[in-house]
Structure 1
Amino acid sequence: MIEIDGRRLRLADIATVAAGGTKVSLAPSAVERMAASQRSARATALTRPVYGRSTGVGANRSVSLDAGDNEANVHGLNLLRSHAVDTGGVLDRETVRAMLVIRLSQLAAGSSGINPAVADAVLDMLNADALPEVREFGGIGTADLNALAGTALTLLGERRTMDGEAIPAPLDTWATADALPFISSSALTIAQAVLAHQKLSTLLHNLTTVSALSFTAMSGNPEALSAEVARAADSPAVTEMAGLLRGLVEGSGAPSRIQDPYSLRTLPQALGSVAEELDSLKGLLERLVVAGNENPLVFGSAEDGSNGVAHHGLFQMTGLARRVDALQLAVGAACATNLRRISLLCDPAYTGLHRFLAADDAGQSGVMMLEYVAAAAVGHIRANAQPVSLQTVVLSLGAEEDASFASVATSRMDSTVRALSTVVGVELVCAARALRMQDRTPEEFASLRFRRAFDAGLSLPADVQDRDLRPDVDAAVQLVLIPEFGR
């Protein structure tokens, strides 16, 4: 059971809930915080206009709502129904669960003014795994209005769940005061970023170990990883990565060259840059999953008269778009060294083996085509790395004259995860094959993490005769997606 308190939520816990099978609860303090926020919003709405409560939204912000419609919740239901349109492919259950748990956490922060009963309904939906069907096209990085409005219609029983079933206990109605506060969130965009961040963190960990296997198979010169060089690095992340790699390749043998190719010599920079961007994105996401960024933001207390609202633009995920862009660029840049290492592992000048790690030099192709597979995957990664944060658009009769398109950036990250896992998997196949053909054994090496990764590589098929290598790559991709790989 994972408790949502609106103050802190680990990214790993979001991933656990998203994977399915883990229940969620709301802390009593979170429920009281939401109730206090609701009281504050009600008190404020009696004294001044409040966007979405007493006015329309978007270009309709200057339209005052009919008091009778408000009382009958007509406007709230109309808002949810009109904003629920999305299209494209149906998102997977993992992403939708992550969206729901993040939205719960944000509501628990107590800045929305929403009725706590809505949060209870979302909690029941999540724990029953009666998930809304959410499609890929709808958001532009200024709140996932479509996805959350569709979730509301599912909670009301107007839409079926992903499984085509009715929600077990549909809500009777939805108050106008609770409509905009529920959908004013980028929970889906943040969810996609969180899940991709967790998978990319695992991949970086495993890529670091696989790179050490390649380094060893090509008798790299560890001087580039030395403590003296590391101290001169321009980033703490590069210094740390150099130390990590130095420990992994300890005892790997005498180097073959004074200076290695860049794909070995610049490993600390290439991988350290990815680590640095992952850490920056993590810090931002840890704030966003507990941030009450609903517009308007509700604050203060109705009891002491300090209540109020503030209309703002925090819902525009400019920072998230920029952080995702930076991470994608770092991964795309690092992939150049991945491809080069795979190429060098095929070169007898660097491994002392037959070309393409083939069984002989009589024309067998060995792992030749794996280089093509990896290059195709890198092409996708580099395409995904084209910056999204430079895009913009003007919508809603000019009321919204900019957009972050963070939703586009985060939706690309799953593609990057799949492509990068292929690249790392291919390098593992080649590095493990080279070490096996060199008659190296895990016991030779000082690092336990290195030995475990080598053992995992040895679990791949040993036959080096020309054959179908798809099963090898599939098995390797599964290995490099496992957090425990090489640990």
Structure 2
Amino acid sequence: MIVLNGSALTIEQLKNILYNNELVEIDSDSREKVKKSREAVERIVDRGETVYGITTGFGKFSDVRIHNHDVDDLQLHLIRSHACAVGEPFPEKVSKAMLVLRLNALLKGFSGVRTCVVERLRELANKGVIPVVPSQGSLGASGDLAPLSHLALVLIGEGEVYYKGKRQQTAHVYKQLGYQPLSLKAKEGLALINGTQAMTAMGVIAYIEAQRILEQSDRVAAMTLEALEGIIDAFHPAIHEARGYPEQIEVAERIRYLTHDSQLTTHQGEKRVQDAYSLRCIPQVHGASWQSLAYIKEKLEIEINAATDNPLIFEDGKLVISGGNFHGQPIALAVDFLKIAVAEMANISERRVERLVNPQLNSLPAFLSPNPGLQSGAMIMQYAAASLVSENKTFAHPASVDSIPSSANQEDHVSMGTIGARHAYQIILNTQKVIAIELICAMQALEYRGELNASSAAKELLIEARKIVPGITEDRVFSKDIEALSKWMASDSFCWRVKMNYESTR
């Protein structure tokens, strides 16, 4: 059970909630903060005060005064009118993350919702009732208004949800569970949709998957290094300590550990003096991407504990401030950085694939073919990898450099952070396939070299991966192999994390 209080949620805890179905509970002190914040909103309504989003319209309509008897209807109209996201739904894990993150933000006690709202969010997350949220339509400022409105629809019994593996009408699922739709009161609709939870949820999932890909890339690159009889001297600790980046040092240590008992790696001058950059610079390139993850994690962990709606209520309602915490720029920049970091892993991986299949660059059969000329072997796998890498370059263009004014120019600068987060996830899916292609080629090359001479780590990986994809003895539809291996690599069925005693590799 993970207790939420609005300020202490970690990515690791969120990962347990999303991937291991850990249940969530509400901290008792946070529940009291929510109550006091709600009392402040009710006093504002009772006194007829003019406060944005409570007794006024929204955006350009902020100067329109709403009568007290209409403030509840205002919230209902808000949710329905703003639920205009389009496109394919976010993955279920992303939508569940939105639920949990929206709940966590409200528990800070600055948003003015009733306890029944936070309780319903908790129940939905714990019961696995996950909103169907279309993924396109957010500008990433003034909050993720469109996607979060689809989440809010579920609280009022409308829209669609995923439940027990099926996409269903919310009303039907509520009937099964004995739930009554909530009737939103003053401020509650705005509090539910005015935030960065869509881009942050997508960003967290992208970060978790990116971490997995970087672990895999280190291990697959080590196998490629062996298959190409790479020069291990380039990974000597002195080289990397001389530069000083911790992540570069760690990648070099991992490669040395993974290849420590290999009879295939060489030393400078034995077969060549230097390797190409895609082998020699693995620590520098991979390490730089690892370095970026530290920055991205820091920003995400701030945001998942942030109050991002507007206005915010302080000092038991004595201070109600309309600000701009809904603006997604911090996360927009972080996910754009994540896109570049992961795209580079595919970029260098594809170059290693080329070195594995090009007979002018190695002493292996051309294109790793079992019968060069009659059979093409891995020739077109490199094409596929190159295509995915090129596609990544278009997705890696920073979404955050664009802005289109909205709401009659009241909202005249926006982050486009949700677009960036979605593109980061697509780059991750593409990169997973590129790494899978490298692994297919590295295994084939290793077997040509003689796997008995390979390192213990390479043999272990070869045994496990060969259960998914057999060796190339004859041309076949390799698309199926790439998809199957990519799916396996995205699962937890193989332990990718390299555990070692670094000192033993020095």
Same-fold call, TM cutoff 0.5: yes
Verify the 8 A CA contact 1:220 1:257 in the aligned structure 2. Answer: no
2:54 corresponds to which letter in structure 1? R
Verify the 8 A CA contact 2:41 2:186 in the aligned structure 1. Answer: no
**Equivalent residue number for residue 503 of structure 2:** none
1-side partners of 2:484 and 2:157: how far apart? 43
Verify the 8 A CA contact 1:217 1:351 in the aligned structure 2. Answer: no
Question: What does 1:154-165 align with in structure 2 at a 5 Å threshold?
Answer: 154-161=154-161, 162-165=167-170
**Equivalent residue number for residue 482 of structure 1:** 491
2-side partners of 1:455 and 1:27: how far apart? 47
**Equivalent residue number for residue 273 of structure 2:** 258
1:332 pairs with 325, 338, 343, which one? 343
1:183 pairs with 177, 193, 210, which one? 193
**Equivalent residue number for residue 276 of structure 1:** 291
Residue 331 and residue 352 in structure 1: after superposition, are their counterparts in 2 closer, same or farther (change >3 A)? same
TM superposition shift of 1:463: 3.9
**Equivalent residue number for residue 375 of structure 1:** 386
Question: What does 1:117-132 align with in structure 2 at a 5 Å threshold?
Answer: 117-132=116-131
Residue 153 and residue 9 in structure 1: after superposition, are their counterparts in 2 closer, same or farther (change >3 A)? same
Structure 2: tracts of 5 or more residues without a match: 162-166, 498-506
Structure 1: tracts of 5 or more residues without a match: none
Please state if 1:462 is matched with 2:463. Answer: no
Residue 352 and residue 326 in structure 1: after superposition, are their counterparts in 2 closer, same or farther (change >3 A)? same
TM superposition shift of 1:19: 4.3
2-side partners of 1:437 and 1:227: how far apart? 30
**Equivalent residue number for residue 322 of structure 2:** 311
1:441 corresponds to which letter in structure 2? L
**Equivalent residue number for residue 504 of structure 2:** none
**Equivalent residue number for residue 321 of structure 1:** 332
Residue 463 and residue 101 in structure 1: after superposition, are their counterparts in 2 closer, same or farther (change >3 A)? same
2-side partners of 1:332 and 1:214: how far apart? 19
Higher deviation after alignment, 235-244 or 138-147: 235-244
Please state if 1:66 is matched with 2:67. Answer: yes
Residue 160 and residue 374 in structure 1: after superposition, are their counterparts in 2 closer, same or farther (change >3 A)? closer
Verify the 8 A CA contact 2:214 2:345 in the aligned structure 1. Answer: no
1:284 corresponds to which letter in structure 2? K
Q: Matched residue of 2:187: which SS?
A: helix
**Equivalent residue number for residue 29 of structure 1:** 29
1-side partners of 2:223 and 2:279: how far apart? 11
Q: Matched residue of 1:88: which SS?
A: strand
**Equivalent residue number for residue 116 of structure 1:** 115
1:332-364 per-position Cα deviation (integer Å, ceiling 9, x unaligned): 234332111101111345553211112244542
1:244 corresponds to which letter in structure 2? R
1-side partners of 2:443 and 2:243: how far apart? 30
2-side partners of 1:49 and 1:6: how far apart? 28
Verify the 8 A CA contact 2:35 2:114 in the aligned structure 1. Answer: yes
Q: Matched residue of 2:169: which SS?
A: coil
TM superposition shift of 1:47: 9.1
2:449 pairs with 438, 445, 457, which one? 438
2:490 corresponds to which letter in structure 1? L
2-side partners of 1:149 and 1:314: how far apart? 18
Q: Matched residue of 1:263: which SS?
A: helix
2-side partners of 1:264 and 1:416: how far apart? 22
Verify the 8 A CA contact 2:34 2:112 in the aligned structure 1. Answer: yes
**Equivalent residue number for residue 392 of structure 1:** 403
1:205-241 per-position Cα deviation (integer Å, ceiling 9, x unaligned): 0111000100111111122211111012263322322
**Equivalent residue number for residue 310 of structure 2:** 295
**Equivalent residue number for residue 203 of structure 1:** 213
TM superposition shift of 1:272: 1.2
1-side partners of 2:73 and 2:491: how far apart? 49
Q: Matched residue of 1:396: which SS?
A: coil
**Equivalent residue number for residue 17 of structure 2:** 17
Residue 257 and residue 482 in structure 1: after superposition, are their counterparts in 2 closer, same or farther (change >3 A)? farther
Task: Give aligned-pair identity as a percent.
Answer: 27
Q: Matched residue of 2:294: which SS?
A: helix
1:2 corresponds to which letter in structure 2? I
TM superposition shift of 1:41: 4.4
1:467 corresponds to which letter in structure 2? R
Verify the 8 A CA contact 1:364 1:466 in the aligned structure 2. Answer: yes
1-side partners of 2:400 and 2:332: how far apart? 5
TM superposition shift of 1:414: 2.2
Q: Matched residue of 2:112: which SS?
A: coil
2:363 pairs with 346, 352, 362, which one? 352
2-side partners of 1:372 and 1:126: how far apart? 43
Aligned residue pairs total: 478
2-side partners of 1:153 and 1:486: how far apart? 40
TM superposition shift of 1:20: 7.2
**Equivalent residue number for residue 471 of structure 1:** 480
1:388-408 per-position Cα deviation (integer Å, ceiling 9, x unaligned): 111011111111101000011
Verify the 8 A CA contact 1:190 1:285 in the aligned structure 2. Answer: yes
**Equivalent residue number for residue 138 of structure 2:** 139
Residue 473 and residue 295 in structure 1: after superposition, are their counterparts in 2 closer, same or farther (change >3 A)? same
TM superposition shift of 1:326: 1.6
What root-mean-square deviation, in Å, do the aligned CA atoms of Structure 1 and Structure 2 show? 2.3
1-side partners of 2:182 and 2:393: how far apart? 48
2-side partners of 1:243 and 1:48: how far apart? 63
Verify the 8 A CA contact 2:227 2:446 in the aligned structure 1. Answer: yes
